[in-house]
Amino acid sequence: MSDLKNEKNTIENSCGCGCGHEHDHEHVQTMTLELENGEKLVCPIIEIFEVEGKEYISLLHPDEDLALLYGFSEYDDDSVELTEIESDEEYEKVSNAFRLLGGENEED
């Protein structure tokens, strides 16, 4: 898992084509992650979902075929905060829920 710099972020709407948004195609929501080493990753948001009363977010790594899973909190000022999933037990529950959202069996 990446070393996420713990600060509030915002969700951006982008289609990635540099257009003036006067056309028909889906716009992708992205989140820019700033890692502790200063690297910034612009990650498309796959899904925001709930597990046992807590919200989580799945992001697509921009350079790898990899989903990044984090705890997710959204605030009244439209900022969001991501938190790393600390325990193996919590990560297992969240990753299983994420796989089920994609239609995969838990045993896959």
Q: Does residue 3 form part of some domain?
A: no
Q: Does residue 21 form part of some domain?
A: yes
| Residue among 108, 105, 10 at smallest CA distance from 57 | 10
Q: Indicate the residue type of 16.
A: G
Residues in the chain: 108
- Cβ-based neighbours of 37, under 8 Å, separated by 6 or more: 3
- The pTM of this model reads 0.73
| Interval 48-95: pLDDT, tens | 999 999 999 999 999 999 999 999 999 999 889 999 999 999 999 999
What's the pLDDT score for residue 34?
A: 87
Residue 19 domain boundaries: 8-101
- Number of separate domains in the chain: 1
Q: Does residue 106 form part of some domain?
A: no
Averaged pLDDT of the chain: 81
